Structure formats: structure tokens, C-alpha cells
A and B are shown apart, each in its own frame.
Chain A
């Protein structure tokens, strides 16, 4: 997908009926209540603590805050976070 120029990607996702996360190489985030958070297609762990987890994405960072956060599983393309998730937010690197 990376070989395809950006305007075409847009067109593909709109008219080709392909999933956006694959076309744009974006992460797919699934939440189950406040308990679980599945993130597929991530770009590495940036920071980890009880209250805050920062995950690198393509051009931004994803910040997950909460209480008693535990990374249940950390694989090359997948993260499973457990705990009391209170907030999920995105920020661009310039904000850091």
C-alpha cells in the first residue's frame, strides 16, 4: 500500500470499498467497555506506567490514561491493554 500515491489511496478507500486502516496504514483500535483496548498495527511502545501508556503511531502518538493499567500482551503489531481505561487521546509530535 505504501507504493501507491496518496490521492489514489483516498480513491481506493472510497470507491474500492477497501478498509481504511489498510489503505492508509492506520492503527485499528478496539475497545471493550473500559476494560480492554486492542491496538493493531502500532509502531512501538514509547512510555509505560500505571496511569499512562504512550504508543507510537505513524505520524502521531496515542495516549491512554487510566488506573492499574497492565499490558497483557505486547507483540510486534498488536497490543492488548487491560485496566480501568479513562481516556484515549491523540497528539502530534509537535505537541510534545
Chain B
């Protein structure tokens, strides 16, 4: 306090016969004086506050003195700057850094609309994707990615809109109303969708028209929806007809296969880029590097500084050889399942033809499977 007061003082030189009297009168009225010095017989130098200086100027005529202002207070410089300026500069810098940090933190995430459970689900998913209060803005996915991901994960969701206002996010969700399909009760027949030999039948509604061990062709009537001969009582036939169906499947399998596999190890490093051009921390570019870019924010503005994350994935090349018949069988089964429905039972299979090339094997297989062949057909009511 005292030192700062010192810097506000002005240095005045008083010249004149009666300068002693002038100083005395000033001192008598209680004005503080500092560093009063005699330079020569009629000259004094002293330091006073600016107010005192003006008071002296008013009185100098009565004492016929001349006043000269030697040193007026200036902007803080040198040592004074060290004492008072540096803390201010440091404070301003800290404030800027603080604002910069706080501008890059998510402050509010609000989910509006939908039922309470849906809002809860959405909030959970958003948390997983990095959109949660207190997280860094750079650690969340992009908004469109988040919207897509949430839509994919939650089935009940029919709409999601993310609105960003600075560091606050408002998420509007809408719940899809699920309609239950009304059970149709229009009269139908069950007909065979494939040619086969019937193994078992289970008819819930309708009149069975075939027996077990019958061979049916595609399109044959299996269960009729007409209960009486005249065709007046019509029902919605329901039931299951399991039959043996034959297929001929062609399977081609390589004997040797090499593929690249991610080992699961990944290295991550971070960098900052200025104006999309100058990398502050040089990244090591690799062909299997996945880079995510996020801008830095200052209050509401996006800074030209980009925060980048580089994920390097380790690759491993592996070669698989199908030499043992077990593995070959497995591969063939997989391919067969891909060609037929995956949930059918394979009852019998026989290789009809096998052709081996240098690195490929081509098989022609006869397959017998158990399959439900009943399919619905609407009875034409003639109106």
C-alpha cells in the first residue's frame, strides 16, 4: 500500500525567495510531504500528491515562487512493472486459460421428450458415447455419429435431435408407438412351398388333406381352410408340416487362406494442429492409423486449433490351411448354412462330386434336410 502510494506522487521543484514559507504553509495545512531537499539557496525539491501540487500552484503567487513539475507518474515501468504489472499479466493469462479449459467442458446435457424409461436409456447411451456432463468436448463422438448410434441401439426411438448451444446440449427424443399387428382371421389354406416327403404334421386349425410319408409337390394343398364340402365354413388354417426336402449344394473352399487380423493392441497419441496446416506435436502417419479431429472452443467460438487423436492398430497376417478334413467339414457346413436357411436340420448329406485344384476344393453335395414347408394362401371368396 505504502509503496504503491509512492508511485502516485509527483516531484516538484520550488524556486523563489519565500519558498520556505510556501512549504511551511502547505505543511501547516496537513498536506503530506516526502523527500524534502534543499538543492541550493532558493531551490527546494519535494514530492507531493497531485492534489497538494495544485494547492501549491494556487498559493505560489502569494509567496512569489515558481513551481516546476520534474517527474509525473507514468505507466508502470521496469521495477514497478515487476512489482505490480507481472501479477496482473499472470492473472489475465490464468483467466484466459481457465476460460479456455471451461469452454471445452460439457456443462449440461438435457434429454427432452419421450417416456422416462426412454430418456434413461438415451442418457445411458449418451454417457457411453462420451456426451455427459463434465466430459471434454473433444472426447465425444461427432453429433451425427451420436445420433446414428443412439438410433441404432435403441429400438423404441423414432427420432433424436441434438441441439448444441455452446457447451450445453439439448437432446429431443421421440418414442415410436408400436402397433401390434391385428391377428388376421381371413380364411387361408396351407399349401406346400417345396417338394418333399412329409415326416410329421401338427395341425392347429383346419382340415388336413395329406398324410405322413406322402410325397407332395410344390403348390399342393396340405391343410384346407374349408371345413365343410359346400365351402360355407371357412377358417384361418394354422399348423406345421415338416417334410424331407432335398437340395444340391455346390461348395467351393480354398485349401489355404491368408488374412489380416487386428491383434487388438492399439497405440494412441495426440497432437494439436494450427490452421489445419501446422502440427504442433508431430504425428506419425501410418497406413492403419485412424485419426479423429475435434476443434477447440473458446466461449462460443471454434478456435483454428484442432485436437487430433491418432489410433495405431497393429496388424497381423495369418495363414490358415484347410488340410485336416475336420476343418474342411466345418467350412463346408458354414457355407451350406449360408446358402440354405440357418435353422434347418441337416439329416443326411453325401458328396456327389469332388474336384481338387492346386489350392481349391470344389464339392457337389446332396443334402437332405427337415424343413417346415407349410405356407399360407388366401382362399378366394369370389367377391
What distance in Å separates the Cβ of B19 from its nearest Cβ neighbour in chain A? 9
In the complex, A7 Cα to B3 Cα: how many Å? 45
Residues on the B chain within 8 Å of A72, using CB: 34-35
A44 to B30, CA, bound (A): 9
Q: How far is the CA of A44 from the CA of B32 in the complex (A)?
A: 12
User: Is B20 an interface position by the 8 A CB rule?
Assistant: yes
Q: Could you tell me if B23 and A48 are in contact, using CB atoms closer than 8 angstroms?
A: yes
Asked if B44 lies at the interface with its beta carbon under 8 angstroms from chain A, I say yes
The verdict on B28 contacting chain A, using a C-beta distance below 8 Å, is yes
B33 at the interface (CB under 8 A from A): yes
- A44's partner among B24, B33, B34, B37 (CB-CB below 8 A) is B24
Which of B28, B35, B44 is within 8 Å of A48, CB to CB?
Answer: B44
> Residue among A48, A49, A50, A70 with the most chain B CB within 10 A?
A48
Contact between chains at A44 and B35 (CB < 8 Å): no
Q: Is the CB of B20 within 8 A of A71?
A: no
Query: How far apart are B10's CB and chain A's nearest CB, in angstroms?
Result: 16
Chain B residues with CB under 8 Å of A47's CB are: 20, 24
Interface size on A, residues (CB 8 A): 15
A45 contacts chain B at the CB level, 8 A cutoff: yes
Q: Are the C-beta atoms of A70 and B28 separated by less than 8 Å?
A: no
Inter-chain contacts of A73 with B (CB < 8 A): 32-34
> In the complex, which residue of chain A has the Cβ closest to the Cβ of B24?
A45
Asked if B38 CB lies within 8 Å of chain A CBs, one says yes
Q: Write the chain A residue with the least CB distance to B41.
A: A49
- Chain B residue numbers with a CB within 8 Å of A45 are 23-24, 27-28
Distance (whole angstroms) from the CB of A57 to the closest CB of chain B:
14
Asked whether any CB of chain B lies closer than 8 Å to the CB of A46, the reply is yes
How close is B15's CB to chain A, nearest CB, in angstroms?
Answer: 15
- Measured between beta carbons, the chain A residues less than 8 angstroms from B34 are 72-74
Closest A residue to B19 by beta carbon equals A48
Q: Which residue of A lies closest to B37 (CB)?
A: A70
The interface residues of chain A, by DSSP majority, are classed as strand
Taking the nearest CB of chain A, how far is it from the CB of B115, in angstroms? 77
Task: Report B-chain residues with C-beta under 8 Å of the C-beta of A74.
Answer: 27, 32-34, 36
Q: Given A44-B27, A44-B28, A48-B44, answer yes or no on A70-B36 (Cβ-Cβ < 8 Å).
A: yes
Residue contact A75 to B24, C-beta cutoff 8 Å = no
Does A2 touch B at the CB level, under 8 Å?
A: no
* B30 A70 Cβ-Cβ under 8 A: no
Per-residue CB contact flags for chain B residues 14-26 toward chain A (1 = under 8 Å, else 0) read 0000001001100
Most-contacted residue by chain A among B30, B36, B44 (CB, 10 A): B36
Measured CB to CB, the closest approach of chain A to B285, in angstroms, equals 70
Q: Which of B304-350 contact A (CB under 8 A)?
A: none
- The CA of A25 and the CA of B3, in the complex, are separated in Å by 31
- Contacting residues, chain A, for B28 (C-beta < 8 A): 44-45
| Smallest CB separation, B29 vs chain A (Å) | 9
Q: Is the CB of A76 within 8 A of B30?
A: yes
Q: Please, which residue of chain A has its CB at the minimum distance from the CB of B27? A: A45
Question: Hey, which chain B residues are within 8 Å of A69, CB to CB?
Answer: 38
Interface residues in B38-62 (C-beta closer than 8 Å to A): 38, 44, 46
Complex CA distance for A73 and B36, rounded to whole angstroms: 8
Which B residues are in CB contact (< 8 Å) with A76? 30, 32
- Ordered nearest first, which 6 A-B pairs have the shortest CB separation? A71-B36, A74-B33, A50-B38, A76-B30, A45-B27, A70-B37
| 20 sampled A-B residue pairs with Cβ under 8 A | A44-B27, A44-B28, A45-B23, A45-B27, A45-B28, A46-B24, A48-B20, A48-B24, A48-B38, A49-B38, A69-B38, A70-B36, A70-B37, A71-B37, A73-B32, A73-B33, A73-B34, A74-B33, A74-B34, A74-B36
Apart from A44-B28, A48-B36: 7 A-B pairs, beta carbons within 8 A: A44-B24, A45-B24, A47-B20, A47-B24, A48-B44, A73-B32, A74-B36
